[in-house]
Amino acid sequence: ALWLAVESGHVQEAVLNGQTILPNGEWWIDKGIHLYDIQKLVKNGKNQVILTYHIPKTERKGALEETFETERNRFFYEVEPESIYVRGFFDVVRREQSFVLTDPTPKQLGNLTIQGMPFYRGNCFYEGIVNYDGESLLAVRLSGMEGTAARIFVDETEAGMVIEKEGKCDLTPYLRKGDNLLRVELLGHNRNLLGPHHHIRKKLYFVGPNSFDGTWGFADFVNPEITPGSSTWTGEYSFVPFGIQQIYLEKGRKEQ
């Protein structure tokens, strides 16, 4: 299954490999980003997408020389082509100077970014069966959690949320004697999808427009090793880790 995600408010026509494609009525992330089903049109090797935009003429006049660039852009560039995205069930592999879509592979505990998911922005799920004796205290501990947070479920009931990198959650009130389905949902983020992808400091806590073009900007004041006027660009793609290193069950005794 493959879809293109296109911010298509002013797109007159979308063409994939010579065939016109139409949105399927669904949206992704933002209601202005529409999905196009492309599964039957893609082929092995390179695929070409052509988007035709209608850019309306502006009639606004005025002395804009002293206004900020963002204000000038509002007057002169009402339509700006945005990035397009590919959604579906596949891995992304770096080959030489480009990325290639390949068949999905099984995933393991650890950093999913280096397991064929470098641009992934969704959630991921870890599941297992817990056999409970009905008498002990039982908690789940997440070690090396890299994500926004994690929601913990016992069967269909949410038992709690973990926000610390080495946090844990008490399962005891939600367990029944015998087998229980433990489900950990790791919540994703937009960092690896939207970038910045070429800043020398991979994990940024402040981001501004300059973070994307390699020039020093106001957001770099928290990095004393980066001096004003210096370049912040690296040719390598910079992704932050996403995943859980280990999931442990911790058992204890109930007080008599």
Whether residue 59 has pLDDT greater than 80: no
Please tell me the distance from the alpha carbon of residue 115 to that of residue 113, in angstroms, as a whole number.
6
pLDDT category, 8, cuts 50, 70, 90?
confident
CB 165 within 8 A of CB 146: yes
Tokens of 102: 């390949």
φ, ψ (nearest 5 deg) of residue 210: -65, -20
What is the pTM (predicted TM-score) of this model? 0.84
pLDDT at 69: 63
Model confidence pLDDT, tens digit, residues 94-143:
988 889 999 999 999 999 999 999 999 999 999 999 999 988 999 999 99
Model confidence pLDDT, tens digit, residues 136-181:
999 999 999 999 999 999 999 999 999 999 999 999 999 999 999 9
Which DSSP helix (H) or strand (E) runs through 76? helix 69-76
Please tell me the distance from the alpha carbon of residue 184 to that of residue 150, in angstroms, as a whole number.
7
φ, ψ (nearest 5 deg) of residue 250: -115, 125
pLDDT at 68: 65
